[in-house]
Amino acid sequence: MNFEYSELQEDIRHGVREICSRYDVEYWRKCDENNEYPEEFVNAMIEAGWLSALIPEEYGGAGLGLSEAAIILEEINRSGGAGTACHAQMYTMGAVLRHGSEEQKKKYLPQIAAGKLRLQSMGVTEPDAGSDTTKIKTFAEKKGDKYIINGQKIFTSRYQHSDMILLLARTTPIEQVEKKTKGLSLFLIDIRDVGDAIVANPIETMVHHETNMLFINDLEVPADALVGEEGNGLYCILDGLNAERILASAQAVGDGKWFVEQAVRYSKERIVFDRPIGQNQGVQFPIAKAYTNLMAGETMMHKAAAKFDQGLPCGAEANMAKYLCSEAAWEAGEAAMTTFGGYAVAKEYHIERKWKESRLARNAPISNNLVLSYVGQHVLGMPRSF
């Protein structure tokens, strides 16, 4: 395995870093304070073509691999920004690419690649189902050449800043299927045309992570909005979750490196009792330990991305990378909070903002407890824990 970055990958890193340099930590602080979506930054990333990295060249994208996409998101977070604002534009289209009809791919992928269309939102989670996706209640009833959809979604991010949404709904009641993962269907919906059939209520959160509760009432969509086969929608989403988890890992790596860099710099500059605080083991060791764990997580993340790009099974590596990187980033955030002391909670130092953002990674896109359950059951062969 080659652990050195290629010339192309280094060029990507520098290119993304150049864009990020135009949007400094003060830009992100203002977005956080005003609960604003970083529209200018996202537009800049779209115009530069970075968010279409995973779209094949035949559809107007860069045709890069997940390893390169991970570098893009890592650099955003390492700059003090938040890749969560736009990361779905990179991977959500994967369901269309892998399972959509040729007509869907030709119609939508070139527009996404050109920045004319945003597919940044996915409606899966529901208030009562949570992580048990098979228990969702949103239902799509087929009537002739269309489906009528009714239901509710929660934590549907970037809906207000997307042109289209991938929506998962039941097309067969759970009590009528032989396997509970069946009977779910995936729809690609142009939300510019839905009117008041979908009502989005923004959810206020501790970070500027635009997310919503959706109320879906008699939404009519054409039959050709179906992605893949009817009843097989969960599988259309599941095979893209490894990509999501690997990219979430990359963001966590970026956060962790930002924390470590800030903590190291401050520990050298801050003089207390006539010596830099970084000379004290109580300050130095937590930073060094967090960095060590971060490097271990980064290695697993690159292994997962490499296997994904080679078409090899990578579920174990993707899940473990997500766990290791998010835990290490949080540890680095804690070390930075301790290093900066009272100044850590002062907004002008930006530590508290990134600290809040890094905590989210332990819960999403999958809880770290569920990752451990996956490893226990599917990797180690232990009994199912739930």
Known catalytic residues are 244
Q: Using the Cα atoms of residue 212, residue 350, residue 38 and residue 56 in order, give the sign of their dihedral.
A: negative
Identify the helix (H) or strand (E) that includes residue 331: helix 315-340
Residue 376 carries which DSSP code?
Answer: I
Please tell me the number of Cα atoms within 13 Å of 327 on its side-chain side.
Answer: 16
Cβ neighbours around 58 below 10 Å, total: 11
**Could you give the 3-state DSSP secondary structure of residue 95?**
helix
Q: Per the omega criterion (within 30 degrees of 0), is the bond before 110 cis?
A: no
CA torsion 69→74→77→83, rounded to 10°? 20
Whole-angstrom distance, CA of residue 66 vs CA of residue 9: 11
Point out which residues pair with 170 in neighbouring strands.
Answer: 139, 184
Whole-angstrom distance, CA of residue 18 vs CA of residue 176: 54
